Structure 1
Amino acid sequence: MRKRIWIYVFLFTLTLINYIDRISLSVASTALKEEFGISPVAMGYLLSSFVWLYFIALIPMGYLVGRFGPKQVNTWGIGVWSVATVCTAFATGFFSLLSARLVMGAGEATTYPAGARVVRDWMPVRERGMATAVFHSGSLVGPAVGAIGFGWLITTVGWRTAFVVAGAIGFVWLAAWGKWYRHPSQASWLGTAELREITADADVGAPGSGAAARPALGFRGLARSRTMWAIGLAHGCAVYATYFFLTWLPSYLQAAKGLSVMTSSMYTAVPYIGAAILAIVIGRLSDLAVDARAAAAGRRRLVVGAVLLGSAAILLVPLLQSTAAILLVITLSLAGCASAISNNLSLVNDLVRSNEDVGTAAGFVTAVGNLFGLLAPIVTGYVVAGTGGFGMAFGVVGILLIIGSAVAVLGARRPVG
């Protein structure tokens, strides 16, 4: 791995910061409801609002990654969402909170298309599963850090200061990214031997033509692919579950278990830390189980199907009384969902033949996935309001995970391009 370990650091911290900012509103939800009189249904819309422009912007951002590269696109993205996060601190009610979250979502839409292209550019095929798992694991550690940090800040100095701190962290990352990130062919700090290692097996499974030389399909070509839709729909089932946890887990622990903001924040962190570790382990195992030729044939879809099926254990939560048992099941389910998402993104790199299409393909899959994510907080808000509890909400999550497992195994078979 040698010097490209720094690319792993960039990838991990990018999603770490992204998800610290995403969970901030969830942790602050109780304080916001009390200060502004926001109902559960209205809070469901507010919690989902960052996904609205995020969803719309994903495919255009994927195109921009193909056109301008990940460095420029990520620079603008994290700059915009960090400003929006800071502006949340100055909200005066529902609509100003909504506006800040919409802008934040548009900025965050750069993350996964750009990250997928960074993995494609920097990682040998045999490392892509683990690299994407490390990239996505930041989305698990971020909520854990955000839950603890925001819980502490809200308790000590108030929710407004918490948003200012979160926004400032993004600008620190941006300065490092601008100074040190380069494409491997332009990174003067990268040795010749390591550059050769990165590119050695890039064309396995595509004999006779380099990936960079293959003609791009573009959005229309990708949208006609059954494989892309299968990956996207399986992605959606996993994303629905992760957004359910991201937006409603603190409220569930506070409402169902009677925990304080600080205690629920600490308990929210436990599943995320455990899931991050497990997701990286599963990502490494998927690389060992799926060599370059098997990856090019779409065999990684079997890993996706297996971890989604395991994640359906979330159906057990309404039957459990012990908080420790509930946290254990949520940890395992969240780890499975995270592994499905990271392996789906690896599957995009495995099956999409043109380098130029990778950003658009990752944007497409993430957009389909986040359509489900957009619905998760809203549907959960209605279910909780209508049933007076979270039991049915966990049932919806579990059923979707089972469906996603079947779609992944049966549909994501053919190369794209």
Structure 2
Amino acid sequence: MRRRYWVYGLLFSLTAINYIDRMALAIASNQITQEFDISPFMLGLLLSSFLWLYLFALIPMGMLVDRYGTRLVNAWGIGVWSVATLLSATSGGFFSMLITRLLMGVGESTSYPAGGRVLREWVPAGERGMATSLFHAGSLIGPAIAALGLSIIVNSYGWRFAFVIAAAVGFVWLAAWLIWFRQPELAHWLSPEERDLILSTRDTGIALPSANEPKLGLKALLRSKTIWAITFTHGCAVYTTYLFLTWLPGYLQAEKGLTLLKSGLYTAIPYLGAAILGIFIGMVGDRAMAGKSLGGGQRRVVVAACLLMSTLIFFVPFLDDIRVILACFTLSLTGCTAAVAANLSLINDLIPSKEDSGTAIAVISTGGNFFGIGAPIVTGYVISMTHQYHYGFVIAGVLLALGALVSMFLTRNSIGQAKETDHVRVAPRPSH
């Protein structure tokens, strides 16, 4: 029995809640803008503000994950950001909302470093693409749920109640995590056969360190050219992801004249479609990688192909039919989410020791989100200057094309290994 899938489900729901809380402000932006009397540029600052401390907290959180483990750090993180979301409901203006968003960013900085480390500890290498895609698919289902559910709540009960509901969901997840999650070595609900499968196959295909070789550490990771290249490609995908996350509802309302509820429905469609297609791409990627040396960076081809798919966003300004626009958004968002998931898998393919996994993922997440923090601000500035969204989509398309080139040619080397093939075992498909 594949009881490890319960862990995959916990990771999926973690990112879903993470993004529900992030998107609550975007869904409620019209009501908040009117109540607080703020400009589009100030709204752009609010929409990006949770990233300000999030960025600086990522690497310390990754190091804490590698030192204290995933169970404790994940629990602390969702507890902090759920409290911050609850406090957002009591905000009285721009500055009080800004403070709660900053606090939320600190809490949310734990999710990807801890989640990535859980994947390295729990997932057979032959399932890594699928499991990572499922983990990251929560970042699409979350906004879809927010777009549908929170739009109804905001429309019926006001924006403050929507923040209260979002916070309550986080506290429910926290209780489930503390009750059920343990390392595979210690999870009493895991069968001996499945435990042996996980422990014997989670490192296949990886450039393993020798027995007397210590973990790399932050300084060695930052000296790796591969880490920097993956960080850049990650940033190109994250930029466009945050463009969707923060401005898509506003685009549909301002440019297409949709109501709050209808824009919520139309926002949900690309997210739901991308979540399903992204998991499918992850499964196809696992099949394509079967029998190959994952420590040689073979998964970079999947990353590059997904980024090229995402460049479809470039054509949105030239389209008029809302159905074609939604299809374009869906495929572009699919490419972004699949590229991010494949990059997370690529890091775990190329990192020699799982003891460095949390820190390595924190590094690429930090750099990637430096791009992400610019998306709402740059787009807000473009809207203020041009009174339309078109150039925001063009900027995203150009970045995605550059990211595909960098991924294909600069992310092939194992991290911290003199030779790509040192201590590498070929990754078989997991047996069940």
TM-score over 0.5 (shorter chain)? yes
Query: Do 1:45 and 1:378's aligned partners in 2 also have CA atoms closer than 8 Å?
Result: yes
Structure 1: where are the runs of 5+ without partners?
none
Q: Which residue of 2 aligns with 1:102?
A: 102
TM-score, structure 1 normalization: 0.98
TM-score (normalised: structure 2) = 0.94
**Do the aligned partners of 2:123 and 2:202 also contact (CA within 8 Å) in 1?**
no
2:422 corresponds in structure 1 to none
Asked whether the 8 Å contact 1:53–1:105 carries over to 2, the reply is yes
Q: Is the 8 A contact 2:151 2:264 kept in 1?
A: yes
Q: Contact conserved, 1:58 with 1:113, CA < 8 A, in 2?
A: yes
**Percentage identity across paired residues of the two chains:** 53
Q: Which residue number corresponds to residue 128 of structure 1?
A: 128
* More helix, by proportion: 1
Amino acid at match of 1:71: R
CA distances 1:156-189 after superposition (whole Å, capped 9, x unpaired)? 1100000000001000000000000000000111
| Structure 1 match to 2:405 | 406
Alpha-carbon distance in structure 2 between the residues aligned to 1:19 and 1:67 = 26
The verdict on how the C-alpha distance between 1:224 and 1:136 changes in structure 2, with shifts beyond 3 A counting, is same
1:378 aligns with 2:377: yes
| 1:395 aligns to 2:394 (yes or no) | yes
For the residue of structure 1 that corresponds to 2:406, the secondary structure is helix
CA distance in 1, matches of 2:101, 2:158: 19
Please say if 1:302 is aligned against 2:287.
no
Q: Distance in 1 between matches of 2:135 and 2:205?
A: 24
Please report the RMSD computed on the Cα atoms of aligned residues, expressed in angstroms: 1.2
Secondary structure of the structure 1 residue equivalent to 2:185? helix
Task: Return the offset for 1:205.
Answer: 4.0
Tell me if the contact between 1:206 and 1:353 (Cα under 8 Å) persists in the aligned partners: yes
Structure 1 contact 314–329 (Cα < 8 Å) conserved: yes
Q: Give the corresponding residue for 1:142.
A: 142
Count of paired positions = 416
In structure 2, the CA distance between the partners of 1:398 and 1:206, relative to structure 1 (3 Å rule), is: closer
Where 2:3 maps in the other structure, the secondary structure is: helix
Task: List per-residue Cα deviations over 1:31-78 (Å, max 9, x = no partner).
Answer: 111111110111111100000011110000000000001100000000
Cα distance per residue 1:265-298 (max 9 Å; x no partner)? 1110000000000000000000000126432211
Contact 1:79-1:107 within 8 A present in 2 as well = yes
d(CA) in 2 for partners of 1:75, 1:323: 41
| 2:72 counterpart residue number | 72
Q: Which residue of 1 aligns with 2:429?
A: none
The farther-off stretch of 189-198 and 118-127 is: 189-198
The aligned amino acid for 1:358 is: S
2:201 is paired with a residue whose SS is: coil
Contact 2:292 2:298 in 1 (8 A): no
Rounded Cα–Cα distance in structure 2 between residues aligned with 1:213 and 1:294: 23
* Long gaps (5+) in structure 2: 417-432
Q: Which amino acid aligns with 1:257?
A: K
Counterpart position of 2:153: 153
CA offset digits 1:317-369 (Å, max 9, x no partner)? 01111111111000000000000000000001000001111000000010010
Contact 2:124 2:203 in 1 (8 A): no
* Equivalence for 2:263: 264
Q: Decide which moves more: 184-193 or 69-78.
A: 184-193
Kept after mapping to 1: 8 A contact 2:25/2:47:
yes
Q: Which amino acid aligns with 2:277?
A: L
- Distance in 2 between residues matched to 1:393 and 1:354, nearest whole Å: 40
Q: CA deviation at 1:202?
A: 3.5
- Tell me the equivalent position of 2:349: 350
Which amino acid counterpart does residue 265 of structure 2 have in structure 1?
M
Segment of structure 1 superposing worse, 1-10 or 80-89: 1-10
The 1:404–1:68 alpha-carbon spacing in structure 2 relative to 1, beyond 3 Å, is same
Distance 1:268 1:58, change over 3 A: same
- Partner Cα distance (1:85, 1:75) in 2: 16
- State the Cα distance separating 1:197 from its structure 2 match: 1.1
Following TM superposition, by how much is the alpha carbon of 1:200 offset from its aligned partner in structure 2, in angstroms?
Answer: 2.1
Distance 1:177 1:4 in 2: 14
1:206 CA drift (Å): 5.1
Aligned to 1:312: 311
Alpha-carbon distance change, 206 to 370 in structure 1, aligned in 2, over 3 angstroms: closer
The structure-2 alpha-carbon separation of the partners of 1:87 and 1:207, relative to structure 1 and needing over 3 Å to count, comes to closer
* Amino acid in the other structure paired with 1:162: A
Residues 87-143 of structure 1, C-alpha deviation per residue, up to 9 Å, x if partnerless? 000000000110010000100000000000100000000001000000000000000
- CA deviations on 1:355-395 (whole Å, 9 max, x unpaired) are 11100000001001000001110000101111110111100
Secondary structure of 1:2's counterpart equals coil
Matched, 1:50 2:44: no
Which whole-Å CA distance do the structure 1 matches of 2:389 and 2:293 have between them? 41
Query: Is the 1:204–1:292 contact (alpha carbons within 8 Å) kept by the matching residues of 2?
Result: no
